[in-house]
């Protein structure tokens, strides 16, 4: 199941993801995630969500393997899971180089490993394919794409690709929901309205 979030710059897409990731406290209204109310029960959902955002949330002076080793301890994941993911994203050969020396695309692959390390029930994806070339996109598709079968909240600035990935679409305008609909129920004009 994928919820795609659409909206113009500053509409609140990234803020919504940070709220769901328990990194921001809601000032008003209610947030319920995986059956738990946020922020009071945030402790119960931490470790069940994986966030892949604009920042890789990795230390640049450590290697991919060292970063993942740290995150393995934070999430108490099975030994070998990090190596398995590095292999899956094609980063094994460069896994012992400091991230500072890697390209943005390789950094994004390391960030994907970090987000998936603890096998989260819910994936929060903010422009997940940014900086990835078509070959890399193909590599990570089974991990974070539609074919992964994971429950995802997907933020994208590209309506066409977001609609193609979506089961449900949320349109945001200035931090408020303009619509919640299935992609088949949305006209081009309705989507275009979000960006005017």
Partner 1 sequence: MNRPHSTSVVLALVRAQLRLELRTFESLPAMCLFSVTSLVLFHFGLNRDQLSGDLASGVLWVTLLFAALLAINRIYVADAEQGGFDAFLMSPASRSTLLCAKLVVLLAYMALVELVVVPAFALLLLEPSLSQALPGLLGPLALGDLGVAVIGALVGALAVRTHARDLLGPLMSLPLLVPVLLCVAGWTAPLFDYPHAGAVAARWPLVLALYDALFGLIAFALFDFLLED
Nearer to partner 1, 70 or 178 (CB): 70
Contacts with partner 1 by CB under 8 A lie at 21-25, 43, 46-49, 51, 55-62, 66, 69-71, 73-77, 98, 114, 118
DSSP 73-141: HHHTPPTTHHHHHHHHTT-GGGTTSBGGGS-HHHHHHHHHHHHHTT--SEEEEESTTTT--HHHHHHHH
Nearer to partner 1, 115 or 162 (CB): 115
- Secondary structure element (H or E) that encloses residue 39, with its range: none
- CA distance linking residue 12 with residue 176, whole number of Å: 8
Nearer to partner 1, 96 or 185 (CB): 96
Distance of closest approach, residue 114 Cβ to partner 1, in angstroms: 7
Distance of closest approach, residue 51 Cβ to partner 1, in angstroms: 6
């Amino acid at each position: 199941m994928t919820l795609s979030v659409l909206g113009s710059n500053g509409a609140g897409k990234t803020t919504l993801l940070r709220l769901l990731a328990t990194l921001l406290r809601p000032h008003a209204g209610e947030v319920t995630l995986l059956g738990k109310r946020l922020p009071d029960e945030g402790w119960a959902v931490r470790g069940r969500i994986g966030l892949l955002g604009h920042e890789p949330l990795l230390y640049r002076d450590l290697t991919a393997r060292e970063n993942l080793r740290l995150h393995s301890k934070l999430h108490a994941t099975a030994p070998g899971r990090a190596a398995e993911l590095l292999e899956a994203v094609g980063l094994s050969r460069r896994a012992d180089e400091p991230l500072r020396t890697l390209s943005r695309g390789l950094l994004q692959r390391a960030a994907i490993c970090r987000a998936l390390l603890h096998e989260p029930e819910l994936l929060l994806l903010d422009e997940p394919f940014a900086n990835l070339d078509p070959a890399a996109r193909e590599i990570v598709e089974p991990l974070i794409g539609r074919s992964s079968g994971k429950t995802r909240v997907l933020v994208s600035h590209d309506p066409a690709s977001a609609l193609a990935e979506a089961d449900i679409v949320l349109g945001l305008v200035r931090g408020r929901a303009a619509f919640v609909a299935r992609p088949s129920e949305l006209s081009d004009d309705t989507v275009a309205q979000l960006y005017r």
